[in-house]
Chains A and B, each alone.
Chain A
Amino acid sequence: MRPRAALIALLTLALLAGPLALAAHAQSKDAFIPLLVYRTGPYAPSGIPIANGFVDYFTLLNERDGGINGVKVVFEECETQYDTKQGVECYERLKGKSALLVNPYSTGITYQLIPKAPVDKVVVFSMGYGMSAASDGRWFPWVFNFPTNYWSQASAVIRYIGTQEGGLEKLKGKKIAHIFHNSPYGKEANPTLEDLAKKYQFELTLLAVDHPGQEQKSTWLQVRRLNPDWIFMSGWGVMNQVAVKEASSIGFKMDHFIGNWWSANDSDVVPAGEGAKGYKGATFHAPGTNFKVHAEIVKNVYDKGKGAGKKEEMGTPLYNRGIVNAMLSAEALRTALAKYGNKATPTSEQVRWGFENLNLTDKRLDELGMKGFTHPIKVTCEDHEGNGPVLIQQWDGKKWEIVSDWVVPMRDVVRPKIEAAAVEEGKKLGYTPRDCSKEK
């Protein structure tokens, strides 16, 4: 009977100790930014580099500048495994520490946080992911998805394919397949692609891959039967590596296979070896470490032994995206601090103002050591997306190379769709739009 007694004692103890663990919340005097990351599970190959980039940039700001305009950035990671239920737990736990903004890193979690954002007064910054309709700032004041969203990206990729074919009118009759992760994230680009297919009369085939995406044989059998001219992919995690491998094994022309910006990282192409050569991906910043900011990170973070990952792993597209994400958050905070007085922790309303009035110029990028790294951006009350342009990068077998100029999305197609969708999504939540001319 001893073990039983021990067992009962253990169980009671565990249940009673739970509340104690949670009571230990302290309010911090600095700017607190929770990071929902996934360093384990099937999405870890994508989740690790982006989290490292994010953490390294904030460490750089703290180490080199002592924070943002004197306000130290405090961040805490919470593991979600890209799972919405764990995402809720993380958000609720970290929100209590007076979070100013949250980066969900998952379209599914973003969808969950969007209704909560105005109630909890936490800025949701889903950089280049999440709900495209949230780009209309009149309906969704607390949600930001600049520099550009899935719909803009899809239109930019179609424009790029058009230029490759010798003009958008040449798309007529071409077969384009969209292979997507069967989740809100993967489905997001579909409506825009469908509209564009009608407009330019190309033949669009939508092929879903179920979570987590390790099994894609049937999808690629369909691809083989269809023999499309171009493939566009919205994948994530292990799904990407498997898809790139499958494409190379059926002998698909890799330079006609374009991943979206979450499907073009080193970890996605390296497993396919030589076969991945020529694979393309969309992005909104440059790959590599040839920028001043990387040298600064090495000097101030890695050389002091405070790096989040390994020094050699810097410069992958997703790592750099983490840097861009952190930089945009930091610059928005800086904008808020500049307006509302430095040296004190801003409120979340002030941070929201900072996001909405962010104007990142070429000159400012140069000061940040990011000249040519990413595109300047201006956010407004109406436009939380910025409609930023897209780059196409290509894998040459060893590293990513930028192979296009900045491709401008089709704003004339995307913006009306965003405004219509924002009305629909906003009404579902019982919102009313605000009048942007009254905002200061």
Chain B
Amino acid sequence: MIYREAGQFKTTYAADQAIFPILQDRVLVTLGLVAAFLLPPLLASEYWLQAVLIPFMIYALAALGLNLLTGYAGQLSLGTGGFMAVGAYAAYKIATSFPGLNILLVFALAGLVSAGVGLLFGIPSLRIKGFYLAVATLAAQFFLIWLFNKVAWFVNYAPSGTITAPPRTVFGVMVTGPLATAPVRYVVVLGVAVLLALVAKNLVRGRVGRSWMAIRDRDIAAEIIGIRPLPTKLLAFGISSFYCGVAGAEFVFLYLGSAETTAFDITLSFLVLFMVIIGGLGSILGSFLGAAFIVLVPIFLTNAPHLLHLSLPVALQKQIELMVFGALIIFFLIVEPHGLARLWQISKEKLRLWPFPH
């Protein structure tokens, strides 16, 4: 009933091809976006913005990138952390070499550099598949981290090997650096995420996305109907790495403020992969839901004992947190192997029939 689309007639092709064909969806998404842009900067505390929402949006962007590659094109990758590192270090080099450049442009350029690196590491994907490809991308992860650790040029010869976000403004407002306020950084992160999610949504609905899915579902069949595997797979690697690169640049410039290679180690790759799996492979919404789950649940678990006025020793609390978190992941995968996005779809179906299920 809530989702009843009876009476919503589509009279043009444009209406039929709309991203959200149902009015209720359009209203919901518009309201959600307005709320996302307005409410947190006005209401949320610095803790919420800095420690919860900003990392959530950045992780969501990285998950979106990986989802394009793994969820849509079916190429399993464990190199996400490495590609994010490329974005971060490229952004640092570009921002410090050209101090006058608009920082948003720097992010885009860093994404392009990352896309280039992704293309390079995507080449083996023509020959190797599945787990073997995962191992090949794992090599990319280790190689890239090693490279940034080894070559001092990437960190402008800083003795500590740390890159620090330089202070930069956009239209006179401080966006990066210590003086940038959390609401400004949040709005930038959110804006980039929304824009790139829109691009991704259109990509996967169009020719490119369809060829990715064809490759994913049966590559030989796809080849027979005229999809060229190498350009298609490489394109997936390139675009995915672009997203991860932008996320990596934001990770340092808008979230951590300063970072070293350990911030991009293999655990980050796994974390983003878990987000994609829990959120739902092959779903844009899933990337956001998965990131929300992975970012919010540990923070909730950390704060839950305070809420109940329990004072547990921190070590015990951390261990409980890890156990509960692990158990929740398993629980969710058992109950809904297709991820949180699928849950949303199911509830939508139910809302459509409610209150008269048959």
List A residues at the B interface (Cβ < 8 Å): 3-4, 7-8, 11, 14-15, 17-22, 24, 37, 39-40, 44, 48, 77-79, 81, 84-85, 88-89, 92-93, 95-96, 107-108, 111-112, 114-116, 118-119, 131, 182-184, 187-188, 190-191, 208, 210-211, 421, 428-430
Contact call A84/B296, Cβ cutoff below 8 A:
no
CB neighbours of A21 from chain B (8 A): 300, 303-304, 306-307
Residue of B nearest to A190 (CB): B159
Q: Which of these, A44, A107, A190, A428, contacts B166 with CB under 8 Å?
A: A428
The reply to whether the CB of B191 lies closer than 8 angstroms to some CB of chain A is: no
Contact call A40/B315, Cβ cutoff below 8 A:
yes
Contact status of A96 and B47, CB under 8 A, knowing A184-B260, A188-B159: yes
Q: Which of these, A7, A18, A118, A211, contacts B303 with CB under 8 Å?
A: A18
Contact call B161/A184, Cβ cutoff below 8 A:
yes
CB neighbours of B314 from chain A (8 A): 37, 39, 77-79
Contact call A118/B307, Cβ cutoff below 8 A:
no
Contact status of A22 and B45, CB under 8 A, knowing A4-B335, A116-B257: yes
Chain A binder among B48-56, B69-77, B81-89, B103-111: B48-56
Flag B307-329 by CB within 8 Å of A: 1 or 0 each.
10000011101110000000000
Q: What is the bound-complex CA distance between A107 and B262, given in angstroms?
A: 12
Residue of B nearest to A192 (CB): B159
Contact call B177/A93, Cβ cutoff below 8 A:
no
Contact call A40/B318, Cβ cutoff below 8 A:
yes
B315-351: which have CB < 8 Å to A?
315, 317-319, 331-332, 335-336, 340, 343, 346-347
Q: Which of these, A3, A39, A191, A208, contacts B315 with CB under 8 Å?
A: A39
Contact call B296/A18, Cβ cutoff below 8 A:
yes
CB distance from A310 to the nearest CB of B (A): 14
Contact call B258/A81, Cβ cutoff below 8 A:
no
CB neighbours of A81 from chain B (8 A): 318
Contact call A211/B178, Cβ cutoff below 8 A:
no
Contact status of A115 and B178, CB under 8 A, knowing A7-B335, A184-B160, A184-B162: yes
Q: Which of these, B160, B178, B263, B318, contacts A116 with CB under 8 Å?
A: B178
CB distance from A209 to the nearest CB of B (A): 11
Flag B219-263 by CB within 8 Å of A: 1 or 0 each.
000000000000000000000000000000000000111111111
Q: What is the bound-complex CA distance between A48 and B55, given in angstroms?
A: 28
Contact status of A84 and B263, CB under 8 A, knowing A14-B300, A21-B306, A430-B167: yes
Q: Which of these, A14, A17, A18, A112, contacts B257 with CB under 8 Å?
A: A112
Contact call A108/B262, Cβ cutoff below 8 A:
yes
CB neighbours of A14 from chain B (8 A): 296-297, 300
29 of the cross-chain contacts (CB-CB < 8 Å) are A4-B343, A7-B331, A8-B347, A17-B300, A18-B300, A44-B315, A77-B314, A78-B314, A84-B259, A85-B256, A88-B50, A88-B256, A89-B51, A89-B302, A93-B51, A111-B164, A115-B164, A115-B258, A119-B178, A183-B161, A183-B262, A184-B260, A187-B159, A188-B160, A190-B159, A191-B159, A421-B159, A429-B164, A429-B178
Q: What is the bound-complex CA distance between A89 and B48, given in angstroms?
A: 9
CB distance from A26 to the nearest CB of B (A): 10
Q: Which of B149, B161, B299, B343 has the most CB of A within 10 A?
A: B161
CB neighbours of B260 from chain A (8 A): 84, 108, 111, 183-184
The reply to whether the CB of B5 lies closer than 8 angstroms to some CB of chain A is: no
Could you tell me how many residues of chain B have their Cβ less than 8 Å away from some Cβ of chain A? Answer: 54
- Grouping DSSP codes into helix (H, G, I), strand (E, B) and loop, the B interface class, with mixed when no group exceeds half, is helix
Contact call B257/A115, Cβ cutoff below 8 A:
yes
The reply to whether the CB of B292 lies closer than 8 angstroms to some CB of chain A is: yes
CB neighbours of A187 from chain B (8 A): 159-161
The reply to whether the CB of B28 lies closer than 8 angstroms to some CB of chain A is: no
Contact status of A39 and B318, CB under 8 A, knowing A22-B48, A96-B45, A188-B160: yes
Contact status of A4 and B336, CB under 8 A, knowing A15-B292, A24-B307, A191-B159: yes
Residue of B nearest to A421 (CB): B159
CB distance from B56 to the nearest CB of A (A): 11
B145-168: which have CB < 8 Å to A?
149, 159-162, 164, 166-167
Q: What is the bound-complex CA distance between A39 and B313, given in angstroms?
A: 10
Q: What is the bound-complex CA distance between A39 and B315, given in angstroms?
A: 5
The reply to whether the CB of B46 lies closer than 8 angstroms to some CB of chain A is: yes
The reply to whether the CB of B6 lies closer than 8 angstroms to some CB of chain A is: no
CB neighbours of A77 from chain B (8 A): 314
CB neighbours of B47 from chain A (8 A): 22, 92-93, 95-96
Q: What is the bound-complex CA distance between A37 and B314, given in angstroms?
A: 9
The 9 closest A-B pairs by CB, nearest first: A21-B303, A39-B315, A115-B178, A184-B160, A21-B307, A92-B51, A79-B314, A79-B318, A89-B51
The reply to whether the CB of B179 lies closer than 8 angstroms to some CB of chain A is: yes
Residue of A nearest to B317 (CB): A79
CB neighbours of B293 from chain A (8 A): 11
CB distance from A130 to the nearest CB of B (A): 10
Contact call B297/A22, Cβ cutoff below 8 A:
no
Q: What is the bound-complex CA distance between A216 and B149, given in angstroms?
A: 17
CB neighbours of A188 from chain B (8 A): 159-160
Residue of B nearest to A130 (CB): B160
Contact call B315/A79, Cβ cutoff below 8 A:
yes
Residue of A nearest to B301 (CB): A14
Q: What is the bound-complex CA distance between A17 and B193, given in angstroms?
A: 25
CB neighbours of A111 from chain B (8 A): 160, 162, 164, 258, 260
CB neighbours of A107 from chain B (8 A): 160
Q: What is the bound-complex CA distance between A158 and B26, given in angstroms?
A: 69
CB neighbours of B318 from chain A (8 A): 39-40, 79, 81
CB distance from A169 to the nearest CB of B (A): 27
CB distance from A379 to the nearest CB of B (A): 23
CB distance from B355 to the nearest CB of A (A): 15
Flag B157-195 by CB within 8 Å of A: 1 or 0 each.
001111010110000000001110000000000000000
